[in-house]
Amino acid sequence: MKLLVLVSFLISTTASASVWKANRSWTEQDEVKFSLFLQSEWAADVFANPQSDFYGIKTDCADAVYAARIVFSAREGLPVKFSDVTKSGSYLTQEMSRWDGLSPLERIKRFISYTGDLVSTLTLESDTYPVAINKDFFRPGVIFLSPILSDFEKRATGFHGGHAEYVKRIDDIGFIEAIASTSPKAVRTLSLNKNPYMAALVTRGGFRRWRQPQQFGVNVENLTGYSLEQFNIADWAPLKLITRRQIYQWHEAIRRTLRTRAPSFDERVDIVVDSICSLLTTRAELVQQGWSEVTKNGGRCLSADLADQYSTDSRDQRIRGSYFQLGDLYDWKKREDGDDILGSVEDAQSKLEKCRIQYWPGRFMNTWEIYPRVRDGLLESSASYAPAVRWGFRPKGTRDCR
């Protein structure tokens, strides 16, 4: 099936004064359909596959969250209403008429891009509300929001915040697969990940549900599925969940509510190993693409935006944290078994050896071979250095671009 080809669902006329015609209001059944859409139809390459009607749209994390809601709403003839930061008390809706004369699909694409330039994790705070952690309301289509923190909150936690992603799938052991874009804004394949690296730090974040257009102005406590229960589990307190163990325990409390069976130890380990494999695979792509841009640029350093796009600071932190998380799991398992020997990453060697990363065309390392480089801080995140430095084959000196 061609990726998200929605033209047949849209009104064919180009004379409409709106982006699309909304012919009814949202219902709870529509939310169920949106959940199924996120799970079954919203593909990771929706913006990066030339066969997709939405190929070429640039997104960051918030843009991608809004885009999915727009695409589904247009297909179903439902309204959208998002906070407009350009004017107090105003909203972005499908009734905008600035793209008259364009095809229905082109109007939607323009609306997605226009909305993306105005929305952010800040507007998501207003456009969503905290959701109950139960199987009735916690399903694909729920958003995890990490809002941008205040200066005080940043100092207290060491986190900056500013990320959003969808719950795409929940498996029978309660693990949540998230789908997300990232910064800076670019045409990219969305990432899929089951191993969360952040938890709710403040009540304006966490797992949240969309406000329907008719719900603006209504007290959130009266909205369907509203609950603050996620802030009453795993010893949650504001600005507290910052260590790997605290983050894991908070998500584990949520998983226990959602699962239909308990995971085995190997299943837990495999999820972390898969996460490491995915993160390093994408890192390899970024390193190759970044150095290719430097080469095409005559060896000159990249612009600030491009350097940011191909650098891997936050990704490298996640990779390092995921490796050490394996050590946490094996240590926990050995303590449960009454073993006096501490567990470590080395216990996962056989599993890590199974994932091979093509870190440069024709050259491979497995994720076990990469581990010592991560452990010893040899990976270089900056796109100003050659791949040999970025993978720790030679030490960092002066930057390799000019």
Residue 2: predicted pLDDT = 43
pLDDT of residue 1: 35
SS3 of residue 70 by DSSP: helix
**163-170 and 191-193: which strand pairing?**
unpaired
pLDDT at 17: 76
Task: State the chain's mean pLDDT as an integer.
Answer: 94
Chain segment 244-263, per-residue pLDDT in tens? 999 999 999 999 999 999 99
**In 337-379, which residue ranges form alpha helices assigned H by DSSP?**
349-352, 367-375
pLDDT at residue 88 in the model: 84
Backbone angles phi, psi at 379, to 5 degrees: -75, 135
Q: What is the DSSP string of 171-240?
A: -TT-PEEEEE--SSPB--PPEEESS------STTSEEEEEPPGGGTTS-GGGSTTB--GGGGSTT--TT-
Q: Give the C-alpha separation, 246 to 232, whole Å.
A: 14
Low-confidence ranges of the chain (pLDDT < 50): 1-2, 7-8, 11-14
Determine contact, residues 64/190, Cβ cutoff 8 Å.
yes
DSSP state of 318: H
Cβ(64)–Cβ(174) below 8 Å: no
Q: What confidence score (pLDDT) does residue 4 get?
A: 55
Residue 173 confidence (pLDDT): 98
Evaluate whether 138 touches 206 at the Cβ level (below 8 Å): no
Contacts with 338 (C-beta within 8 Å, 6 or more apart), sequence order: none
pLDDT of residue 5: 52
Enclosing H/E stretch for 365: strand 363-366
**Listed residue (7, 190, 15) closest to 106, CA to CA:** 7
Q: Are 113 and 58 in contact (CB under 8 A)?
A: yes
- Rounded Cα distance between 366 and 372, Å, is 11
Looking at residue 11, its pLDDT comes to: 46
At residue 14, the pLDDT reads 45
Give the model confidence (pLDDT) of 270-302 as tens digits: 999 999 999 999 999 999 999 999 999 999 999
